[in-house]
Amino acid sequence: MAAKRVFSNDLLYVLVHSDIDLKGGKRTLQMPLTMSEKFRNVPITAADLSVRASNALQRHGVEKVATVIAYFDCLNKIKSCGDKTIREIKNKSLQCWYESLTPEEVVSFWEEFIDMNS
């Protein structure tokens, strides 16, 4: 997953690209993640990570879930973060973000996701 980051006064917009295997080859999906000021302050402990994943991020100075999401493409540079740990960090961080959305934001996310990937 690679990420493009755009910052504004009250929002962090991250466009995450993820390659998936489909019949006939790979396809890159784009996921638009808009993060409010409130979400940008959610501590990494809210993502309910394993001890290994949590310790790796803390040793690297990562304290917020939004920081992890914004820098998905750098996780492989963190010591003791193998593929399995990186996958866990990405999955649980995205789950934490998605669960923080209001019903209106969920609808907006899916509308934008469909528009970007159709």
pLDDT, one tens digit per residue, over 36-88 is 778 888 999 999 999 999 999 999 899 999 888 888 888 888 888 899 999 99
**pLDDT the model gives residue 22:** 64
* Chain centre to alpha carbon of residue 29: 14
- Range in 6-10, 36-40, 101-105 the model is least confident about: 6-10
Is the separation of the CB atoms in 1 and 31 below 8 Å? no
Q: What is the mean pLDDT of the chain?
A: 81
**pLDDT the model gives residue 18:** 62
* Mean pLDDT to the nearest integer, 102-111: 89
Number of neighbours of residue 33 by Cβ within 10 angstroms: 24
**pTM for the structure as a whole:** 0.78
CA distances from residue 7 to 27, 37, 39 in whole angstroms, order as listed: 27, 11, 14
Count of domains observed in the chain: 1
**pLDDT the model gives residue 103:** 92
Domain that holds residue 62: 2-117
Give the whole-number percent of the chain exceeding pLDDT 90: 27
